[in-house]
């Protein structure tokens, strides 16, 4: 008996294109880490620099600019001396929180598997 495919070619192509679009925006070593850091707090540039381990100031600036262009992050310059710049996720940026949570859960379980510990199912 021949099993019918669950999805037709057109549906699969659309899904793959959507994944490519998402990866184009989120691609790179740092963007997911930056977004994850901003999921919970508004952060100053220097705080982000400390929180995203290993990133240079130049690279952080470039990645934040790209995230701003994609309407995921807003940059606010505060009228302080010296000038303080804060970053936060936009409402649209917060739509990525579920993805970040799923990645965190997967990463936690992956680490347990790789280190030889038994995988636990997270409640919920």
Residue 19 lies in a domain: no
87-120 pLDDT, tens digit per residue, is 999 999 999 999 999 999 999 999 999 988 654 5
60-85 pLDDT, tens digit per residue, is 999 999 999 999 999 999 999 999 99
User: pTM for the full model?
Assistant: 0.79
State the residue range of the domain holding 44.
29-114
Residue 4 lies in a domain: no
Q: How many domains does the chain have?
A: 1
Residue 39 lies in a domain: yes
CATH number at residue 105: 1.10.10.10
State residue 42's pLDDT score. Answer: 97
Residue 124 lies in a domain: no
Per-residue CA distances from 58 to 24, 55, 61, 63, 83 (Å):
20, 8, 5, 9, 18
Residue 5 lies in a domain: no
Residue 21 lies in a domain: no
């Amino acid at each position: 008996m021949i099993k019918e495919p669950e999805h037709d070619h057109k549906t699969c192509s659309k899904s793959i294109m959507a994944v490519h679009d998402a990866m184009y925006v989120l691609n790179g070593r740092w963007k997911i880490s930056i977004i994850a850091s901003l999921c919970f707090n508004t952060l100053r540039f220097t705080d982000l620099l400390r929180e995203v381990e290993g990133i240079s100031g130049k690279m952080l600036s470039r990645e934040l600019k790209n995230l701003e262009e994609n309407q995921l992050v807003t940059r606010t310059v505060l009228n302080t001396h010296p000038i303080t710049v804060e970053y936060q996720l936009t409402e649209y940026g917060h739509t990525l929180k579920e993805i970040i949570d799923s990645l965190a859960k997967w990463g936690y379980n992956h680490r347990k598997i790789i280190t030889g510990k038994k995988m636990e199912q997270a409640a919920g």
